[in-house]
């Protein structure tokens, strides 16, 4: 999977830009929580009276009264928090990815490639549905690893955080190349859990899951490039430019300005000057601005 990563340039349309922005924010938040917990453990471990209540040692901290624990116990809880924080972060990033894929399916509807009901597909079938609608086959290894992390998320959400048989089966079904890819992404040896084990991803697993989601987002982006007609992409880019810039459609330099805007996110399409001018004319006639 990694050898194919970013083989094709991406079209940075609005939904794609929003996904990338929110993914960075989520990642920054997770690492801030993890680093903060490590700093807290280091600070608390240096306190002399480990049997004192946390609130007695740090009375100025907001919410500290809600954590009615001795210092040694609170330190231990924070030291063990990494797995839970990463697994909760996995839930959030899944929500972002699911919303993105569904929004991309909705982009197919105006072109007769999808129905309104298609955009309500669940995460266990959404990439497969996208492939069926567009004729573009997403990376099979990335898809298998996505379903692995999806089942981890499901176990955490719906099975009291414990491994179920379907998750074990997903691990077992991975091919040698998929296992090698996961180990490359996580820098850890793949371990097949037993039924009843805690369903946690840990830091390495979260890194792997984020990489898989990013690869699939790029795959969906590529599929859209091929499925949506060029004039529709042109119309999207032109409309986006004039909405954001506030410039007049009658501006004689409009075509040149749009071409400059395309370099910021739509250059993967290599739209020609004639295509841009035609897109501006269509927008004028539509009366939507």
Query: pLDDT of the chain along its 289 residues, tens only?
Result: 544 545 678 999 989 999 999 989 988 998 998 899 899 999 999 999 999 999 999 999 999 989 889 999 999 998 888 888 888 888 889 999 999 999 999 999 999 999 999 999 999 999 999 999 999 999 999 999 999 999 999 988 887 889 999 999 999 999 999 999 999 999 999 999 999 998 888 899 999 999 999 999 999 999 999 999 999 999 999 999 998 888 888 888 888 889 888 887 898 999 999 999 999 999 988 877 7
Cβ(146)–Cβ(220) below 8 Å: no
**254 and 119 within one domain:** no
**223 and 88 within one domain:** yes
Of residues 250, 272, 248, the one with CA closest to residue 262: 272
Alpha helices by DSSP H, listed for the chain, are 14-45, 54-57, 71-79, 82-108, 126-134, 140-158, 165-173, 176-186, 202-227, 230-245, 254-262, 273-286
Q: Give the range of the structural domain holding residue 218, as residue numbers without chain letter.
A: 2-9+83-227
The three-state secondary structure class of 219 is helix
User: Tell me, what's the pLDDT at 122?
Assistant: 93
Q: Give a yes or no: residue 255 inside a domain.
A: yes
Percent of the chain with pLDDT over 90: 70
Average per-residue pLDDT for the chain? 91
> What's the number of CA atoms in the CB half-sphere (13 Å) around residue 122?
4
Q: Give a yes or no: residue 88 inside a domain.
A: yes
Q: Give a yes or no: residue 54 inside a domain.
A: no
Q: Give a yes or no: residue 116 inside a domain.
A: yes
**235 and 183 within one domain:** no
**182 and 210 within one domain:** yes
Rounded Cα gap, residues 60 and 7, in angstroms: 52
Question: How many folded domains does the chain comprise?
Answer: 2
**275 and 189 within one domain:** no
Of residues 155, 125, 136, the one with CA closest to residue 226: 136
**223 and 89 within one domain:** yes
**153 and 199 within one domain:** yes
Rounded Cα gap, residues 285 and 288, in angstroms: 8
**241 and 201 within one domain:** no
User: Tell me, what's the pLDDT at 67?
Assistant: 86
**236 and 220 within one domain:** no
Of residues 235, 224, 205, 204, the one with CA closest to residue 268: 224
Q: Give a yes or no: residue 14 inside a domain.
A: no
Q: pLDDT by residue (tens digit) across 142-173?
A: 999 999 999 999 988 887 889 999 999 999 99
**235 and 223 within one domain:** no
**258 and 223 within one domain:** no
Q: Which residues of 124-161 are buried (b: 16+ CB within 10 A; e: fewer)?
A: eebbebbbebbebebbebbbbbbbbbbbbbbbbeeeee
């Amino acid at each position: 999977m990694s050898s194919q990563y970013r083989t094709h340039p991406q079209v940075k349309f609005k939904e794609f830009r929003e996904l990338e922005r929110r993914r960075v924010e989520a990642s920054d938040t997770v690492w801030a929580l993890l680093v903060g917990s490590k700093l807290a453990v280091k600070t608390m471990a240096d306190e002399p009276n480990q049997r004192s209540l946390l609130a007695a040692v740090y009375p100025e901290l907001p919410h500290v009264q809600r954590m009615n624990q001795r210092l040694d116990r609170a330190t231990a809880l924070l030291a063990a928090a990494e797995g839970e924080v990463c697994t909760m972060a996995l839930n959030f990033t899944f929500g972002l990815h699911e919303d993105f894929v569904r929004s991309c399916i909705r982009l197919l509807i105006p072109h007769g490639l999808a129905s309104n009901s298609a955009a309500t597909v669940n995460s266990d079938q959404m990439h497969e549905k996208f492939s069926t609608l567009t004729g573009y086959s997403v990376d099979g290894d990335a898809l298998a690893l996505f379903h692995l992390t999806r089942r981890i998320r499901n176990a955490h959400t719906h099975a009291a955080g414990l491994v179920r048989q379907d998750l074990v089966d997903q691990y077992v079904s991975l091919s040698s190349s998929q296992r090698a890819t996961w180990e490359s992404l996580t820098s850890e040896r793949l371990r097949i859990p037993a039924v009843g084990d805690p369903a946690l991803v840990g830091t390495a697993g979260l890194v792997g899951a984020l990489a898989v989601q990013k690869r699939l987002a790029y795959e969906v982006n590529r599929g859209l490039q091929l499925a949506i007609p060029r004039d529709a992409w042109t119309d999207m880019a032109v409309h986006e430019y004039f909405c954001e810039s506030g410039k007049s459609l009658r501006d004689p330099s409009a075509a040149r300005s749009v071409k400059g805007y395309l370099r910021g996110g739509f250059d993967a399409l290599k739209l020609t000057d004639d295509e841009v001018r035609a897109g501006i004319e269509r927008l004028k006639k539509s009366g939507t601005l």
